[in-house]
Structure 1
Amino acid sequence: MNLISKFNNHNLEVISVDDINLQKIAVFDKIIFSPGPETLEPEGVMKKILDKYTKSKSIFGICLGFQAIAQYYEVKLYNMETVCHGI
């Protein structure tokens, strides 16, 4: 949420992954995929959003969201031996 506070000149709406559908986010010009407690689903909602909007909207990923974007572009992901947040 600290990052979102930097966008004070923009209208923001936070939508739970359980409430997202492609029509609901069609009105936005930018999308932020946030961190989440879940693991990536190969055919999950983030992939569907990327399929539809990757060429027409700015999409930024944080943590799991970044991993979803990387996976979409077939970047090889692997677990580190030691978890290092914030590097």
Structure 2
Amino acid sequence: IIVTVKRNDEIPLEMVKEYDKIVLSPGPGIPQEAGLLLPLIKEYAASKPILGVCLGHQAIGESFGAGLVNLNQVYHGVATPITHRDNSYLFKGLSKTLTVGRYHSWVVSD
């Protein structure tokens, strides 16, 4: 596996076609202010697997018609135990219950 990290405001959109998979990282900001996030998703969502983390997840939601809602309670640096129910490769080798750091103030909403 070869991983290449690129800023979404420094890579030409057409260059993304060279990659097999796309991971969209956290912020700062909101999707409309985040470089090529929204155009990239619209261009490649039908042909490449895309994983969005935080801002990347929000951008995927907005690209498919969801909205963003500001949380009543902001979570910045809050350690929270979670339990995942997925046996996918993404969680391979991780305990079903683990503590994660939460850093967000927005939620994707329908």
Q: CA deviation at 1:42?
A: 7.4
Larger RCO (CA within 8 A; separation ≥ 6): 1
- Number of aligned positions between the proteins: 78
1:12 & 1:53 partners in 2: Cα distance? 18
Rounded to whole Å, the distance in 1 between the matches of 2:34 and 2:53 is 19
Indicate the RMSD between aligned Cα atoms, in angstroms: 2.2
The AA in structure 2 aligned to 1:46 is L
Q: Point out the structure with max Rg over C-alpha.
A: 2
Whether 2:31 is the aligned partner of 1:32: answer no
Q: 1:71 maps to which residue?
A: 62
Quote the residue 2:88 is aligned against: none
CA-CA distance at 1:43 after TM superposition: 9.2
> Normalized per residue, which structure has more strand?
2
Within 2, Cα distance between the matches of 1:19 and 1:43? Answer: 11
Which residue in 2 is equivalent to 1:61? Answer: 52
Give the CA deviation at 1:51.
1.6
Aligned counterpart in structure 1 of residue 9 of structure 2, from 18, 40, 46: 18
* Stretches of structure 1 lacking an aligned partner (at least 5 in a row): 1-9
Structure 1 runs (4+) deviating above 6 angstroms are: none
Percent identity over the alignment? 34
Deviations 1:38-73 (A, max 9, x none): 222179511111121111000010000000001111
Shift of 1:16: 1.1
Segments of structure 2 that go 5 or more residues without pairing to the other structure are 76-101, 104-110
